[in-house]
Amino acid sequence: MILILLVAILPLAGLITWITGSKNEKLSKWILLVSLLLEIILSFIAWPADIVQKNTAIPHIWQQEVNLEWIPQLGIGFHLAMDGLSFVMVLITFFIGLLTVLATWKNKYQRQGFFNFNFMLVLTGLTGVFLAVDMFLFYFFWELMLIPMYFLISLWGGEKRKAAAFRFFIFTQAGGLLMLLGILGIYFIHGHNTGTYTFDYNLLLGTTIPPGIAIWLVIAMALGFLVKIPLIPLHTWLPDATAKAPIAGSIILAGLLWNSGIYGIMRFLLPLFPYASMLIKPAAMILGILAILYGAKLAFAQTDLRRLVAYSSISHVGFVIIGLFAFNQIALQGVVMQMLTHSISTAALLILAGLLLNRLKTDDLDKMGGIWTDAPSTGSFGLIFTMATVGLPGLGNFLAEFLVLLGTFKVNITVAVLAALGLIATVIYALRMIQKIAFGEKQYTGIAHDLSIREKIIAAALVVPIFWLGLFPGPVFKTLNAPIEKTLEQNTGILVSVRDQNKIADYISLQNEQHKYLAERFNYTSIKKYKIFTDNQPEKGGKW
């Protein structure tokens, strides 16, 4: 029941604010604020603190689950569930959503009620994506985000907003349709194999898929997820959409929306298509490296603050991709930590961009400069957020990138070294950004007022988790242990239960078409190369 409330409160609050917004804008914003506070409270009720404090040996069961019939004739159910991964994702969504409402408290928009409704509908889609374990329901929530996000950009954005909104719509709609093809493919194959047609994720796990078909299904679903992240070369919609959207829309696009794509790969793509995922690993690693270096290069070239933040997001996407396809627990912990810390630091930079836009009436870095003189608090918080983006030791972003690189190093040293070069590039564009904003000669006219009490509270609320995740990540890791281990069990199940080298041939020769295909596709040397074994087994000598 509590999961239904988590999904239902958001659109209900949005609908109420739509009705009341035209008459009382302040009341409508209070409704948003209270509803998001309530969602955070309900999230902690759904995930009690004693679960986080338990030892790492938490069985992978859904801590909360509701499964109702929806369209039983087609095998579609209203199936929601929460484990550690979905808990941290919905929590960061509500947290950033709450701070976005506070940060834009004094911003006034035409048709304020309709603006609030679309904002809450996007958050509804994100929440549903993180909780749905019926594949059709997942796709429903995935598409639910599209139209309200299009409205936020096209109706309340800046100059050339319609072109940016149209590009966003085309890219994400095309990606969603490709993902739907992948979902339908596994739906029909499972039905053909078992006689039971269902979209239930738990039942679809372990579906035997002919290898020639599996590779096309995994490519289709991967493209759908990668558009939302977005990964090069599917990234071109993000910079314009982030720069032209209203600040609230920019925060969702660059700070929250990418989480849905990463979550989709981690929750659905890797476990449902374990063998085909292995085959696309080299291409994914190459694209990840390109994203890190190319995104950093373009971020350095930007003079528009929000476009710079968007390109920095594209660069950080590369770390996530190589971490996902490293297929080990250390890297996956880094991936989820990167999702959390990037959401916070990116939201912080975009909130700062919104504050500067309200004061200076520009996003142009060349028209800023010397902010620290007039607004020392703004400069101080800006410096902290910039250091978080750089990955300063002691901050959450550093830990996330360190874990990704450490996990990747165990798999491919060359990829890890090339990815590490991206850290140097990040320092260059981030320091250039803070130099342009806070230091140097004053380029703007007038006085840039410093942060108000409300704005200082927002900034402090962002600084605290940045430090907390960097210094005390233990509770987060304990929360994530079970779902990460389950993902690895599904994805590297080929040798996960194999304890010595003599059993490898017998295990691979099981009467399963995918196992036989893998035996033909890889020899033992290739298996070692692709690291299809558990982390706690030595690569050379001894037992696997």
> 504: pLDDT confidence band, cut at 50, 70 and 90?
very low
Sequence-separated (6 or more) residues with CB below 8 Å from residue 542: none
Distance CA 180, CA 182 (A): 5
Q: Which of 107-111, 377-381, 413-417 has the lowest mean pLDDT?
A: 107-111
Q: What is the pLDDT of residue 448?
A: 75
Q: Which of 84-88, 281-285, 351-355, 506-510 has the lowest mean pLDDT?
A: 506-510
How does pLDDT run across 113-131, given as a tens digit for each residue? Answer: 999 999 999 999 999 999 9
Burial class of residue 366 in the structure, from the number of CB atoms within 10 Å of its CB (0-12 exposed, 13-18 middle, 19+ buried)? exposed
How does pLDDT run across 448-488, given as a tens digit for each residue? Answer: 788 899 999 999 999 999 999 999 999 999 888 888 888 88
> 523: pLDDT confidence band, cut at 50, 70 and 90?
very low
Q: In the structure encoding, which two tokens stand for residue 433, read together?
A: 């950004």
What integer is the mean pLDDT of 334-345? 94
Peptide bond into 473 cis (omega under 30): no
What integer is the mean pLDDT of 14-35? 89
Q: Three-state SS for 65?
A: strand
Distance CA 94, CA 123 (A): 8
Q: What is the pLDDT of residue 517?
A: 45
> 257: pLDDT confidence band, cut at 50, 70 and 90?
very high
Cα–Cα distances (Å) from 531 to 81, 116, 544, in that order, read 31, 48, 11
Instruction: With a cut of 70, say whether residue 229 has pLDDT above it.
Output: yes
Domain ranges of the chain: 302-491, 493-544
Phi (first) and psi of residue 492, to 5 degrees: -110, 30
Distance CA 193, CA 170 (A): 35
Q: Which of 314-318, 458-462, 465-469, 493-497 has the lowest mean pLDDT?
A: 493-497
> 64: pLDDT confidence band, cut at 50, 70 and 90?
confident
Q: Are 316 and 344 in contact (CB under 8 A)?
A: no
Peptide bond into 230 cis (omega under 30): yes
Instruction: With a cut of 80, say whether residue 59 has pLDDT above it.
Output: no
Q: Which of 125, 102, 131 is nearest to 347 (CA)?
A: 102
Q: What is the pLDDT of residue 348?
A: 94
How does pLDDT run across 403-421, given as a tens digit for each residue? Answer: 999 999 998 999 999 999 9
Distance CA 401, CA 393 (A): 10
How does pLDDT run across 286-311, given as a tens digit for each residue? Answer: 999 999 999 999 999 998 999 999 99
What integer is the mean pLDDT of 249-255? 91
Q: What is the pLDDT of residue 126?
A: 96
Q: In the structure encoding, which two tokens stand for residue 385, read together?
A: 């957020």
Q: Which of 418, 427, 425, 424 is nearest to 287 (CA)?
A: 418
What integer is the mean pLDDT of 83-109? 93
Measured distance between the N- and C-terminal CA atoms of the chain, rounded to whole angstroms: 44
Give the length of the chain. Answer: 544
How does pLDDT run across 158-195, given as a tens digit for each residue? Answer: 888 999 999 999 999 999 999 999 999 999 999 999 98
Instruction: With a cut of 70, say whether residue 500 has pLDDT above it.
Output: no
Instruction: With a cut of 80, say whether residue 532 has pLDDT above it.
Output: no
What integer is the mean pLDDT of 10-34? 90
Distance CA 105, CA 91 (A): 21
Q: In the structure encoding, which two tokens stand for residue 267, read together?
A: 């929750």
Instruction: With a cut of 60, say whether residue 538 has pLDDT above it.
Output: no
Q: In this structure, which long-range contacts are made by residues 91-94, counting pairs with CB atoms below 8 Å and at least 24 apart in sequence?
A: 91/40, 91/43, 92/256, 92/259, 92/339, 92/340, 92/343, 92/344, 93/123, 93/126, 93/127, 93/130, 93/256, 93/259, 94/36, 94/39, 94/40, 94/43, 94/123, 94/127
> 514: pLDDT confidence band, cut at 50, 70 and 90?
very low
